[in-house]
Amino acid sequence: MAKMHSRKKGSSRSRPPIAAKVPAWSDISKEELEKSIMKLHESGLPSSRIGLTLRDQYGVPSVKLVLGKNLNGFLKANGALPDIPEDLANLMRKALHIRKHIKANKKDVHNKRALQLTENKVRRLVKYYHDSGRLAPEWLYSPETAEILVS
């Protein structure tokens, strides 16, 4: 979203190489990977941290190649996906921190603008999750409910 709110060109992203099968050096089985994912989830890690841990400590190049579905798809199949998506929760947490800062520093106009941009991102993401069915249609963002949900 860099292009939308600034005059910058946005950032390019790396894409994993296209592979049709699990590399020969990866020796983790499907059952072991499922147990590892559930163990990491039960320890309280979000899905992004689970993916990093699997990559760095367990040597899993791609969860999708081993399981046949991505990490969030696996968590959804096991009923372990959180009610609020991780990226939305992170943006709401950021908006709460900015709001707290603005209460203490009333003349900070730059962070007032940052709050507007962040809450706009939250609203756009909520709209996306409404359309995709991930959030209930009656779910709305407000700073009061966000404080309850995130903290």
Q: Span 49-53, mean pLDDT?
A: 96
Task: Check residue 17 and report its DSSP letter.
Answer: P
Q: Which run of H or of E encompasses 103?
A: helix 86-104
Structural domain boundaries in the chain:
30-77, 86-150
- Entry pTM: 0.83
Question: With contact defined as beta carbons under 8 Å apart, do 67 and 34 qualify?
Answer: yes
CATH code linked to domain 86-150? 1.10.287.10
Handedness of CA 122, 125, 131, 135 (dihedral sign): negative
Residue-level pLDDT at 46: 95
Helices (H) and strands (E) in the chain, counts: 8, 0
* 57-93 confidence digits (pLDDT tens): 999 989 999 999 999 999 999 999 999 999 999 999 9
